[in-house]
A and B are shown apart, each in its own frame.
Chain A
Amino acid sequence: MSTAVSEILDEPKTPAVGRKRSDFVYYGLRNKKLVFGLGLELLLVLFAIIGPMLAKYGPQTLTGAQLHHPGGTYWLGTDSLGEDVYSQLANGIRESYLVGALGAVSAAVVGMTLGFTAGWRGGILDEVLQMVTNIIVMLPSLVLLVVIGSYLNSRSVLFEGVFIGLTTWPWVARAVRAQTFSLRSREFVEMAKLSGKRPLEIIVRDIAPNMASYLFLVVILLFGSSMLLAASYDFLGLGPSNTVSLGWMMNQATQNAALLYREWWWFVPPGAVLTAMVAALLVANVGLDEVFNPKLRQQ
């Protein structure tokens, strides 16, 4: 397209340093999805921090009042053992965020390192990584986690998070590799090479900023999927021992036939909140994608 007009319309396909930060902020604030998603997520995170402090009882404290309906002293009622559901919920949210973050971070670290290396070096290393990625992606992760986890006697939150990360890193690696590959042969990288920069410097200074937006999106998605995977995992009873989590709550509810006894306050809140947590992430993710990629903006 013509230069004079294009500088107004399309974001120029120049290196990240050429783009105006004000553009991002401008479009960011105007993007409904980003604002809504991010806003909701922040609210939930705030709740994760403050919520447990507002609870009158510990999550596993026996209050003596079993299966109370929500209201009064027990905001969300109590379960069959007399534990306060609200307290469990608030603490469970914390735990979910923690596991999600651990999962996303471990997957990101492993995935980015391997992806960078494969994309940068190419050759056999790249072929091997692609093969490994394809294989791991094919194996059903929950089943794998189940089989491995059932052999373990005690599990910690750290373990669960890292574990989940180790089954989802291929997604990150793929994305990073593809981006590195395509950026590697772009002009500004050639120029950096010509000017004698060391490879590590090129990676950090020239390639990373261009991938940053894309990587950010991928990590957000990973965060959400980690939380969902952890919930299923906890639901199966394989979660961290002695920890209250949203999945664990649902597991307890099922084991005590909460369905049949219509104790909806036991299983509806945890899943509903988790849905909100992940949905907000997804929506914010899309909004962010639209801010980064003008083509997606539907006007």
Chain B
Amino acid sequence: MRRYLIRKLITYVLAFFVGVTIDWGIPHLIPGDPIQGLLARFSQLDPASYAALYKTFAQSFGLNVSLWQQYLNFWKGLLTGNMGISISDDPNTVTSLVFGAMPYTLALLVPAVVLSYIVGNRLGAAAARRKLLDNTVLPLGYVFQAIPYPWLALVVPYLLGVVWHVFPISGAYSETLLPAWNWTFIASLLDHWFLPFLTVFIVSLGGWAIGMRNLVIYELENDSSRYLRALGASERVVRRYAYRSASLPQLSGLALALGVVIGGNIVTEIAFDYPGLGHLIYGAITSQDYFLLQGIFIFIVIGVLIANFIIDLVFITVDPRTRLSMQGAAA
């Protein structure tokens, strides 16, 4: 088990390194001069002002030192929590902006992922044993899995917000309210939260249901299920064992699906004008706020690594083989 943990840790550390390096490296590898692009927004500059402004930007970008120094500076900034100041939202720091948006994203992401995982697994397992249920769950699951995030993020608010005025379609809370710890505010928060949550939930649901269904079907036909039946175990017991065996690969699937869900989350936030990280990214793109973009990327990478780590821990506690085996991860 120790070898397994060590291997995992190395992967995480390396992933972090790679993420940071890519993040730092992008502006330097892309053809074109980002500063020029920025300055293009300031029209009608005389050459002297242009040169002075260029120098200032170069300095704030840290481009006036050697490449290697820039890389180290980047690391320094990251480790001290100083990711610079947002270009578009001066004087707010990148860090403060990110931390401001993070709670909204987490409030959306975590319940959506967890609930879709749990509900999807139950549905899938149930569909695996009842043919009737299977005939509805399966096609629905495929359709849900195939829905592009932007589309659901448009159709859901259209139906539930515009056509039937059940929920609001944008913002985190009503514009007429000020943030406060009272029921009105919290109710408004939830009201605005529901549709984006529903969007992410639905798309993820299909994938889990189908995956679990296939796994359970496979397990129900394997040797241990046959043996249990031969020994007269009730079908309920057989199912329980199959479910247990199927849960393990599903769990590792969760870690892999995170990257996709985050992407979907971003899209949803933008469609709903929901002030999370995705929304922040969009703003950063349109205003070419590179500092902010790079900062957000790092935070997301860190978040994904932490989530992966948590899932790994859960996996270890749940899977007896990983817990007890003295060998490293099998090929």
Contacts and interface: CB of A to CB of B under 8 A. Distances in A.
B309 to A, nearest CB: 10
Interface string A132-148: 00110111111110111
A259 B154 CA distance: 7
B150 A298 contact: no
Give the interface size bracket for B toward A: 35 or more
A51 interface: no
B297 A135 contact: no
**Which of B26, B282, B294 gathers the greatest number of chain A CB atoms within 10 Å?**
B26
B11 A137 contact: no
A147 B297 contact: yes
A253 B151 CA distance: 11
A142 B11 contact: no
A64 B179 CA distance: 46
Give the interface size bracket for A toward B: 35 or more
Taking chain B's interface residues, is the majority helix, strand, or loop, or is none over half, making it mixed? helix
A131 interface: yes
Contact of B150 (A232, A238, A282): A232
Nearest to B28: A151
Interface string B138-150: 0100110111111
B113 interface: no
A286 B141 CA distance: 12
B293 A236 contact: no
Contacts, number: 182
Contacts of A228: 146, 148-149
A129 to B, nearest CB: 12
Contacts of B62: none
A103 interface: no
B146 A259 contact: no
A236 B146 contact: no
A45 to B, nearest CB: 16
Contact of B147 (A146, A150, A275): A275
Contacts of B19: 139
A147 B298 CA distance: 11
Taking chain A's interface residues, is the majority helix, strand, or loop, or is none over half, making it mixed? helix
Contacts of A237: 285-286
Nearest to A151: B30
A247 B308 contact: no
Contacts of B10: 131
Interface string B148-166: 1111101101100111000
**Which of B151, B214, B282, B305 gathers the greatest number of chain A CB atoms within 10 Å?**
B151
A140 B304 contact: yes
Interface of A: 126, 131, 134-135, 137-144, 146-148, 150-153, 181, 224, 228-229, 231-232, 235-238, 246-247, 250-251, 253-254, 259-260, 262, 264, 267-268, 270-272, 274-279, 281-283, 286, 295-296, 298
The 4 closest A-B pairs by CB, nearest first: A271-B151, A142-B263, A278-B146, A279-B146
